[in-house]
Every structure is written in C-alpha cells, then in structure tokens.
Amino acid sequence: MNSRSAARGFLAFLLSLPALQGEVGYAVGCTSKTVCALKESTVDIICTYNFPKKDKELNVTQLWHKGKKHKAVSLTKDADYEGRVEYSCGEISCIENSCNGTCALKIKNLTQSDSAEYMFSFIINRKSGKFSGDPGVKLSVTDQVMVSFASSTDPTRANMTCHNVPKTPSVTVSPSGEIVNGSSVTLSCSSDANPAADYTWFKEHEDSVGRSGQNYTITNITSELGGNYCCQAHNAIGRHNSTCFYIHVTETSSLTSFIVRIVVVSILVLATILLVFLFHRTTRASREASGLGEAAEMVGEVEGEVRDRNADF
C-alpha cells in the first residue's frame, strides 16, 4: 500500500493541554494546533471537555464550527459540508465532582477549501453556559503529503507533512512613501509554501531583472528603472506569480519642492516689504527737502523786506 493510500485513513489524535474557559472546572482540550490531510481523504479531529458534576443534569450540547466562537454555526448546518460531516460524541462520565466527555469531528471527501480553523464548543443549558476550545485546530488540505512512520514496529502511527503549491505571493516596498531619484528602494516577496519557496524577480515586459531571493534592493534608482515589478514564488511542487507593484520615481520629493516654494515666496515677500520701505523713506526725504527750500525762501523774503525798510530810514 503506498503512502497516499495509507494517509487516507489517518486519524489525527494528538491532544494538547486543556484550555480553561473563564470559569473554574470548565475546560476544552483539542487536538494539536495543526492537522495535515490529503484532498479527497477523510480526517478525524477529536476534543475532550470537562465541566462540574453539578451541571450533569442540565442539557449539554456539543458543537463543531469554523472560526471564532462568536460566529459559531454548526458544520451540520453549513451547505458546503452537506453529507460530508459527522459528529461522534461519547457518553459523559463523571468522577467525584468532575465530568468529562469526548467528541470527534469527521470530514469526508476533503477539498482545499476545507482548509480552515475548526473549533469545538459545548453548551450547557444555563446562563453563560457556552465553552469553547480557543485556539482551535488548523486543518491544511493539500494534494502533496509526506508520510513517515515513527516506529517500524507500529505501522498504525504515522507523521504527515503537508506540501503545498506556493500561494499567490505578495509584494511590499520600503520605504513606503514616494521614491526620489537617486534614493534606494527594497522590494520584499512572501508566500505561504511547504517546502519553503524560492523567489525570482522580474520587471513587467522583461524576462528577468537577474536577481533572486526574497528581497530585491535597487540602489541609486532612476526614473528609467521605474515601472511594474513582480516576483515568482516556486518550489518543487509548483510556482505562482505575484501581482505587480508599480514604482514611480520622482525627480525631487514633494517635501523638497514645498520647502523651495516656501523659500521663494518668503524672498518675494521680503523684497516687496523692502521696496515699500525704501519708497516711503525716499518720499519722506523729498518732502523734508521741499519744506526746507520753502523755509529758505521765506527767510530770504523777510531779510529783503528788512533791508528795504532800513534803506527808507
């Protein structure tokens, strides 16, 4: 039997430490944080739960759902899981003052869209009687799984590792603001992939920029180097291209242009003030000079009259 066939019947059952849910005596212990499974296979995820014996006579309801507990909708009522989901919950047993139970979720004919976080909740028929395992169990569904056996004497227990076609990579740029001619810019590419992806950079309408690696730095950038840059994430399973990121290179920064404009305006204002000051000063000097001339003429006239009178005598 090959590893793919063996993996189809794999049962995910690795219990984590119980998670306390706000009140003493109430707890949920779910499977390991991540579970790996093949497409079209079946997976079982198991949780245990505890509550005080005093609540045993109350109605206890078990519930499996996707996502966080405030969006708890039973998978049995989700059209995407119709005919593919089963709950298998055992009898509740009590010892001294504590009761516990086990509940398994079975999902058949897995698809990649089933990859999600699954949570178990149990509801007690009283106020504030809802308790959930948080965080839940993250299920990864893939078409590539590596199976290894922990012991040659126990072929029923296997370790599974998911291998994925890289997800669509994303591109970020630093600095995030405007890019000025002569500055440096770094592009970063990231993708969720197993095995880890390698990255190749290229410019739109060009085969490649001749660089590989998760980060691509352009030093002393020019306007000719602007344009759409993309990255490709690839591993042994497949490859995926990112959406291209457009780099616009400006000759000067807007801050520099703003400062230049402020300086020019300031010089013009100061020049205008100086011209007005000089104009008023010149005008006042002219008026003062004119006044002195008139006074001199009056003095001359008076002196003439005095001379004339003296001559009469």
Whether residue 182 is predicted with pLDDT greater than 80 in this model: the reply is yes
**CATH code, domain with 200:** 2.60.40.10
CA 165 to chain centre: 22
Whether residue 15 is predicted with pLDDT greater than 60 in this model: the reply is no
CA angle 143, 149, 153 (to 5 degrees): 150
Pairing of strands 93-95, 98-107: antiparallel
What residue numbers bound the domain in which 73 lies? 3-163
Same domain membership, residue 265 and residue 136: no
Residue 84: predicted pLDDT: 94
CA angle 47, 51, 55 (to 5 degrees): 130
Residue 166: predicted pLDDT: 74
Grade residue 12 by pLDDT with cuts at 50, 70 and 90: very low
Same domain membership, residue 182 and residue 207: yes
Residue 276: predicted pLDDT: 81
Residue 2: predicted pLDDT: 39
- Token pair for 82: 């119709």
Grade residue 186 by pLDDT with cuts at 50, 70 and 90: very high
Which of 229, 250, 271 is the C-terminal boundary of a domain? 250
Provide, rounded to the nearest whole percent, the portion of the chain with pLDDT above 70.
Answer: 70
| Exposure on the CB side of residue 227, measured as CA atoms within 13 A | 12
Query: Using CA atoms, how far apart are residues 31 and 294, in angstroms rounded to an integer?
Result: 111
pLDDT digits (tens, 9 = 90+) for 193-221: 777 889 999 888 776 666 788 999 988 88
| Residue 75, CA distances (Å) to 37, 66, 80, 121, 237 in order | 18, 7, 9, 12, 31
Same domain membership, residue 153 and residue 9: yes
CA angle 95, 101, 102 (to 5 degrees): 145
| Residue 171, CA distances (Å) to 12, 115, 149 in order | 35, 24, 38
> Is 61 contained in some domain?
yes
> Residue 112 in contact with residue 165, Cβ under 8 Å?
no
Same domain membership, residue 275 and residue 143: no
> Residue 120 in contact with residue 106, Cβ under 8 Å?
no
Total domains in the fold of the chain: 3
> Is 255 contained in some domain?
no
Same domain membership, residue 12 and residue 159: yes
Query: Using CA atoms, how far apart are residues 26 and 90, in angstroms rounded to an integer?
Result: 18
> Is 232 contained in some domain?
yes
Same domain membership, residue 124 and residue 38: yes
Grade residue 3 by pLDDT with cuts at 50, 70 and 90: very low
Same domain membership, residue 217 and residue 156: no
Q: Which long-range contacts (CB under 8 A, 24 or more apart) does 53-59 make?
A: 53/94, 53/96, 53/97, 53/98, 53/99, 54/97, 55/99, 55/124, 55/126, 55/129, 56/92, 56/94, 56/99, 58/124, 58/125, 58/126, 58/129, 59/124, 59/125
Residue 305: predicted pLDDT: 62
Provide, rounded to the nearest whole percent, the portion of the chain with pLDDT above 90.
Answer: 8
Question: In the chain, which ranges are continuous DSSP H helix?
Answer: 3-8, 254-312
pLDDT digits (tens, 9 = 90+) for 140-180: 888 776 666 666 676 666 666 676 677 788 888 888 777 88
> Is 304 contained in some domain?
no
Query: Using CA atoms, how far apart are residues 27 and 130, in angstroms rounded to an integer?
Result: 11
> Is 313 contained in some domain?
no
pLDDT digits (tens, 9 = 90+) for 122-131: 888 776 667 7
Whether residue 85 is predicted with pLDDT greater than 90 in this model: the reply is yes
> Is 80 contained in some domain?
yes
Same domain membership, residue 88 and residue 21: yes
Same domain membership, residue 234 and residue 113: no
> Is 294 contained in some domain?
no
Radius of gyration over alpha carbons of the chain, in Å?
Answer: 42
User: Alpha-carbon torsion 65, 195, 216, 168, what sign?
Assistant: negative
Whether residue 260 is predicted with pLDDT greater than 90 in this model: the reply is no
CA angle 165, 170, 176 (to 5 degrees): 165
